[in-house]
Chains A and B, each alone.
Chain A
């Protein structure tokens, strides 16, 4: 059952310029695994070294944040659309100068 994953502009360079991709998946976790298996260069921008979704990467199913659904176990149906939206964050204090 394919679901649609919308690819944000800065990551389209890793999906052959496609703005959305159809992935066979029953859960959000499967969809993201399928997406990064197909387009491996995406992996490092979505997942950290431990293979967990980076903390600033938000995933929405339709308009719902998966944090408030069942996270990567969130079930999907054929009409669902997954969006990947970064939390834009930053700041002046670095980890190393605040001893």
Chain B
């Protein structure tokens, strides 16, 4: 599997990551999947629900709220997700995956990313170093949930 993005979609992810810095940004990737390639047609920025700590904690409690916050955690509201997905399906598009930023951290998935992932989806990570978007990578969870495999990104 490989994922294809247009340069303006990459810019949109970059600028979302920079706007939200030093917090994590997140969003959805919509498009079409065909055999072994995914083509992104729309990038949908979403709110990081970790800003609303009460609701976020109700949905997916953090193990250590003293160390975990919107600076190193993101959560997409499942209701936002359902709404975007429903709208995408109505327009003949699919949810291909999600993106999020790692402020001042490499664009490598953490254990926490892996524990909260599902197979097939593309998980794009963008590293934002001192406020500037840097490396971007994409990952797909392995069938046995043991690791993330890198996915080629074609621009």
Cβ of A71 < 8 Å from any Cβ of B?
A: no
Q: Which residues of B contact A55 (CB under 8 A)?
A: 60-61
Given A44-B145, A58-B59, the answer on whether A88 and B76 have CB atoms closer than 8 Å is: yes
Interface residue range, chain A? 20 to 34
A-B pairs with beta carbons under 8 A, tally? 94
Q: Which residues of B contact A90 (CB under 8 A)?
A: 26, 73-74, 100, 109-110, 112-113, 116-117, 123
Given A55-B60, A93-B110, the answer on whether A87 and B116 have CB atoms closer than 8 Å is: yes
Q: Mark B9-35, 1 if CB is under 8 A from A, else 0.
A: 000000000000000101000000000
Q: Which residues of A contact B75 (CB under 8 A)?
A: 87-89
Would you call B103 and A98 a contact (CB within 8 A)?
no
Q: Which residues of A contact B120 (CB under 8 A)?
A: 9-10, 13
A 40-99 contacts with B by CB, 8 A: 44-45, 55-56, 58, 65, 67, 83, 85-96, 98
Would you call B82 and A89 a contact (CB within 8 A)?
no
Given A9-B120, A10-B120, A45-B145, the answer on whether A89 and B76 have CB atoms closer than 8 Å is: yes
A 1-60 contacts with B by CB, 8 A: 8-11, 13, 44-45, 55-56, 58
Given A10-B118, A87-B76, the answer on whether A96 and B103 have CB atoms closer than 8 Å is: no
CA distance A8 to B76 in the complex (A): 16
Q: How many whole Å from B47's CB to the nearest CB in chain A? A: 12
Would you call B113 and A91 a contact (CB within 8 A)?
yes
CA distance A32 to B68 in the complex (A): 31
Q: Which residues of A contact B145 (CB under 8 A)?
A: 44-45
Would you call B73 and A96 a contact (CB within 8 A)?
no
Q: Which residues of B contact A93 (CB under 8 A)?
A: 67-68, 72-73, 105, 110, 112
Chain B CB count within 10 A is highest, among A55, A92, A95, A96, for A92
Would you call A85 and B81 a contact (CB within 8 A)?
yes
CA distance A8 to B82 in the complex (A): 11
Partner of A92, one of B59, B60, B95, B102: B102
Chain B residue nearest to A97 in the complex (CB): B110
Partner-A contacts on B (CB < 8 A): 24, 26, 58-61, 64, 67-68, 72-76, 78, 81-82, 94-95, 98, 100, 102-103, 105, 109-113, 115-121, 123, 144-145
Query: Would you give 28 A-B contacts (Cβ < 8 Å), ordered by A?
Result: A9-B95, A9-B120, A11-B118, A11-B119, A44-B144, A45-B119, A55-B61, A65-B78, A85-B81, A87-B60, A87-B75, A87-B76, A88-B26, A88-B75, A90-B26, A90-B73, A90-B100, A90-B116, A91-B72, A91-B102, A91-B112, A91-B113, A92-B72, A93-B67, A93-B68, A94-B110, A95-B112, A96-B111
